[in-house]
Structure 1
Amino acid sequence: MSLICPLCHLPLLLNDRSWHCENRHQFDQAKEGYVNLLPVQHKGSREPGDSAEMMQARREFLQAGHYQPLRERVVELLAGHLGQTSVQLLDIGCGEGYYTAAMAAHFTGQVYGLDVAKMAIRLAAKRYRDILFCVASSQRLPFADASLDGIVRIYAPCNETELARVIKPGGVILTVTPGAHHLQQLKALIYREVQLHTPEEKVYAGFEQAAQHSLRYSMTLSGGDAAKLLQMTPFAWRAREEVWQTLQQTNTFECDADFTLTLWRRD
């Protein structure tokens, strides 16, 4: 196993549903199968991560298949660049596990899902029993040095130094960020002037950009699904009540999905 203790950074071993290190730090495995590796001093707030409403909306929207093309493209790109199926993979900010499950269905080895939101991890672990999920911070990854073949980061915050630490030489990071026109029709309901998304300008020291792809397509949504999409975005905080009502009363809502997928390879 690649997991390390979040307190002393020694390897964690699983024994009778309890993870422990040589310094006798212990982290019990929940009945759903996940492990909480987020010490209280690292939480930052009482319940970090997305709200329950956002998570439920995201689960229902994703399960309806609207982002299935992105899910398939993520697995396709990973498979093409990793060159083998027995790998150690981490999905950062995995939420309820929609993309993590697709990776686990394709790859052998070990797939991990990590999120700071305990409720999201509980939902994920309950549904996808063959994946090891953990509650942890992306700023302090509970993984050993050079232990992972790949990391997937879909919109999630990250610590570039930590990514470089845990990725093996030759390993990859796959990032998914909004393309210029992502959800522009939804934004037009909220903002007087719609600004196009600007490209992410992160640079990962010790990595080279191996590939970049765009994925853009139109979604035809019911009003209810459009409202769920809004609920799972940061735009929800700015939406007036009449926007929610308009969406709920709409039969169909046309909206663009636009993603940029960038693959980075460790030197």
Structure 2
Amino acid sequence: MPNPQYLCPLCNHPLHLDNKTFKCENNHSFDVAKEGYVNLLPVQFKHSKDPGDNKQMVNARRAFLENEFYAPLRNKLLELYQNFNEFDANTVLDIGCGEGYYTSSHKMENNHVYGIDIAKNAIRIAAKKYRDCHYSVASIAQLPFANESIDWAYSVYAPIKVEEFHRIIKAGGYLLVVSPGARHLWQLKSLIYRTPQPHDETCPDMSGFELIEETRLAYEMSMPTIDDRFNLLTMTPFAFKSSDDLTRALTQAEQFVCETDFMIRLFKRC
């Protein structure tokens, strides 16, 4: 697999792989971890000691996704990529890739796939499991890629940094954004809030991008096991609203069925 193409997060000069260390012309260096990823988030750029999702959230999401509850979403993302892919040998970026569940599905024979996330716990898992993609710890606010170097990027529930996305995506390239639809995880929310509110479906302001396609993907998930129910809870911000009543409800129910509701928007860079 060719060496990944990164920019130095300190001086924005290209990084070159020398043995197991990335170096730039200013001699800034970043070692490749034993799992195969590189940490491109210097300590001075961190806003906390361990930014991003904590280890418990990461492990819960990994277990939940491996049971294929979000497989229809993964398949829809891949379908859009294959339908709109206009490049013979393109560069794909998963922005906020987590454990690499969606990232790895985009790897084809003739493309180069990158995944970045601010959570080192998640990147470590992704790099160890999916060896055919390039993974790095990095900030979405300062992506370690050259201007107009990405053909296809996608973001599943990650923060939207329009100017930065516009900088790295090629003219005519694509950005796929997934956000929660109005009734996403409604049954779980109903166990937490007395009067649950629907998610706001307003399309974000995407200056410099044209909206090409907008679609909704919604289906029900049946979770017969208690582990699946608590993995779903733990991987979401709802975990911070946990209570004894919620625990009893998830534990004692014979069946727990929860709706998904995804808004999927495909943008083309102007």
With the length of structure 1 as denominator, give the TM-score of the two structures.
Answer: 0.97
Describe the SS at the equivalent of 2:90: strand
Aligned counterpart for 2:94 among listed residues 85, 91, 96: 91
Aligned: 1:14 with 2:17: yes
1:246 Cα deviation after fit: 2.3
CA contact (8 A) 2:5 2:16 kept: no
CA contact (8 A) 1:2 1:147 kept: no
CA contact (8 A) 2:39 2:138 kept: yes
Distance 1:237 1:85, change over 3 A: farther
* Whole-Å separation in 2 of the counterparts to 1:112 and 1:200: 28
CA contact (8 A) 1:5 1:21 kept: yes
CA-based RMSD: 1.2
1:2 Cα deviation after fit: 3.1
Deviations 1:9-48 (CA, angstroms, capped at 9, x unpaired): 0011111011011111100100100000001111100000
Structure 1 stretch displaced more, 141-150 or 191-200: 191-200
Structure 1 stretch displaced more, 218-227 or 63-72: 218-227
CA contact (8 A) 2:98 2:122 kept: yes
Describe the SS at the equivalent of 1:108: coil
Aligned position for 2:110: 108
CA contact (8 A) 2:191 2:249 kept: no
Aligned position for 1:71: 74
Aligned: 1:44 with 2:47: yes
Aligned counterpart for 1:233 among listed residues 236, 244, 248: 236
Structure 1 consecutive aligned stretches of length 4 or more whose deviation exceeds 4 Å: none
1:85 Cα deviation after fit: 5.3
Aligned position for 1:146: 148
1:248 Cα deviation after fit: 2.5
Which structure 2 segments of 5+ residues have no match? none
Aligned length, in residue pairs: 266
Aligned counterpart for 2:214 among listed residues 212, 215, 221: 212
Aligned: 1:248 with 2:251: yes
Aligned counterpart for 2:63 among listed residues 47, 60, 64: 60
Aligned position for 1:166: 168
* Whole-Å separation in 1 of the counterparts to 2:203 and 2:74: 23
Deviations 1:141-194 (CA, angstroms, capped at 9, x unpaired): 000000000111000013211100000010010000011111100100000001
Structure 1 stretch displaced more, 212-221 or 243-252: 243-252
Deviations 1:124-155 (CA, angstroms, capped at 9, x unpaired): 10100111100000000000000000111000
* Whole-Å separation in 2 of the counterparts to 1:251 and 1:133: 40
